[in-house]
Amino acid sequence: MRPGIGSALRDLAARVHATRFPLRTPDGVRGHELVRSIGDQLDDYLLPRLAHADAPLLVVVGGSTGAGKSTLVNSMIGAEVSAASALRPTTRWPVLVHNPADSAHFGDPARVLPGLRRVARSEQRGDDPQLRLVSSEAVPPGLALIDSPDIDSVEADNRALARQLLAAADLWLFVTTAARYADAMPWELLADCSERGTAVAIVLDRVPAAANREVRHHLGELLAAQGLESAPIFTVPELNLRDGMIPDAAIFPLQSWVLNLGRSERARERVMARTLAGALRAVPPRIEALADCAAEQEAAHDGLSRSVDVAFAHAADELARALVGGRALRGEVLARWQDFVGAGQFFRGLEPTVARLRDRITSAVTGRRDTAEPLENAIAGAVSVLVREQAVEAVAATSRQWQDSPAGAAIVQANPEMTRLPADFDARLRALVGEWIDDVNKLVGEVGQSKRARARILSFGVNGVAAVLMIGVFCGIGGDRGPQQRTSTALVADKLLVTIFGEDVTRDLAITARRSLLTDAGALLRACRAPYDHALAVSEVPARQAGALRGAAARLEELL
């Protein structure tokens, strides 16, 4: 074995265990299974075997429910080391039988099957995965047998543990019966063993004499189809048990072959070398498959994240265009503005002199009724409608995009509140607009401290000038558009503001008021994406995990 393989495998194992599949994607389930199965083989077989090449050969006796695994193990050992019963599942936790000389090796969890707690007796009520150790002189040094839980157990934990044990095996002794040898589940695992390169031997148990030839022939064909044509087949005839054991003559061929693996160093090394080489060869292509699944997760997460960014960026842009593009100057706002400036009478009498314009506005503002407050209220309503409209559209667009993918649909289904605005949105919006109007009034009051400006503001009223400034913001004054909306509203607002403050100050005031509104409205929009950002954070996929897997697999492949 070339130097560096152990280090490459440890690096690969760390990357496999760090691979996450938090999103529901087409290959997500397969990815989870690959992480489990590859991780099991790296942790339970490849790394321990490379670190302890002289460790005993591990033979895992596995098979379907009721195949007679425990009876087979007891018969080969010549003693009841594993309980056999008609109750299912009989073997909940695995039983490992070894020679006393190998006790130190199997008693150390760091050397083999590190995830299983060692016990001397089966603890049927224990919930922690456990490995019962049985010492027996009947097993030669250098060999150990594990009686595994059923691969098709009714208990999911048993099935998972059976698969973990198979991943740790130097040799899988697959036990089946003449009635069940063609069941689908065992063949899925046999195909997996073939892919991993694990050495396999087949035991046909309880075979009627009349069916022996036909069953062996058909079984051989099935094995060849899976690339396992070299796997030896042992037949145990259908006989009455003697004191719970298979008669010696019937068990002898299998017993002698298995136990000889412990007695013959050459035979033992041959099996170990075959399984180790096959397992190493199988790692890079399996990692490539895992990387494909991981890349799918990355793409799904990136797609979800991108859809949130696009929807809310579009909403922010649309809101900015709406607020300076005149969309607020409709309906109630336009009506109250016309009331404020004297409607048609004001426009008919508009003259180019500052004094006449001031007199008209003064008359409107200081007349019999306060027209600034209704205008402010109308402005507040219009701004609220525009902000809410874009918030609703951003949330709806994001929700639609997410529900178009399996990953996003699963998240939205689990969190239906994501499709709605936050419960406190309207209250926050009212506060935002109210504070902005107050800030604009303060801004007008602070800027108008010069003698000239103060006199004119007093003539028109602070609220009235602030309302005109807000109208100017909606007309685009001080923006990229400038006062380019050559409507009567834009002309009047621009002229009045320049009259009071001058052109430069008017532009600065409009820019400040607009930026303040867009900043606060943007923050409220971002609050609406918080549920989506939280979901993305919870389901975060490690960056470039697919590339890291492929890189680690390539380094291993170079060493093989």
Residues of the chain with CATH 3.40.50.300: 56-263
Confidence of residue 480 (pLDDT cuts 50, 70, 90): low
Smallest CA-to-CA distance from 428 within 394, 388, 397 is with 388
> Looking at the predicted structure, is the pLDDT value of residue 437 above 90?
yes
Contact 148, 162 (CB under 8 A): yes
Contact 11, 555 (CB under 8 A): yes
> Looking at the predicted structure, is the pLDDT value of residue 369 above 60?
no
CA angle 472, 478, 480 (to 5 degrees): 120
pLDDT of residue 14: 96
pLDDT of residue 364: 44
pLDDT of residue 545: 94
Average pLDDT (229-252) is 92
3-state SS of 146-190 is EECCCCCCCCHHHHHHHHHHHHHCCEEEEEEECCCCCCHHHHHHH
> Looking at the predicted structure, is the pLDDT value of residue 438 above 70?
yes
Confidence of residue 178 (pLDDT cuts 50, 70, 90): confident
- Residue keyed to tokens 């051989």: 220
Average pLDDT (410-438) is 96
DSSP 56: P
Query: How far apart, in whole angstroms, are the C-alpha atoms of residue 18 and residue 548?
Result: 10
Measured in degrees and rounded to the nearest 5, phi and psi for residue 59 equal: -105, 115
Confidence of residue 501 (pLDDT cuts 50, 70, 90): confident
Peptide linkage before 149 cis (omega within 30 of 0):
no
Query: How far apart, in whole angstroms, are the C-alpha atoms of residue 552 and residue 18?
Result: 13
Query: How far apart, in whole angstroms, are the C-alpha atoms of residue 322 and residue 341?
Result: 23
Query: How far apart, in whole angstroms, are the C-alpha atoms of residue 136 and residue 217?
Result: 36
pLDDT of residue 330: 87
> Looking at the predicted structure, is the pLDDT value of residue 374 above 60?
yes
Confidence of residue 368 (pLDDT cuts 50, 70, 90): very low
> What are 218's two structure tokens?
């058909």
> Looking at the predicted structure, is the pLDDT value of residue 117 above 60?
yes
pLDDT of residue 486: 61
pLDDT of residue 123: 54
pLDDT of residue 370: 54
Q: What is the pLDDT of residues 69-83, one digit of tens each?
A: 999 999 999 999 887
Q: What is the mean pLDDT of the chain?
A: 87
pLDDT of residue 126: 55
Q: Reading across the β-sheet that carries 171-177, which strands appear in turn?
A: 117-119, 130-135, 95-98, 143-147, 57-63, 171-177, 199-207, 233-237
> Looking at the predicted structure, is the pLDDT value of residue 50 above 80?
yes
Q: What is the pLDDT of residues 180-233, one digit of tens each?
A: 888 888 888 888 888 888 899 999 999 998 889 999 999 999 999 988 999 999
Partner residues linked to 59 by β-bridges: 145, 171
Measured in degrees and rounded to the nearest 5, phi and psi for residue 353 equal: -85, 145
Which element (helix H / strand E) includes 25? none
Average pLDDT (240-255) is 93
Confidence of residue 424 (pLDDT cuts 50, 70, 90): very high
pLDDT of residue 458: 62
Q: Does domain 56-263 have CATH number 3.40.50.300?
A: yes
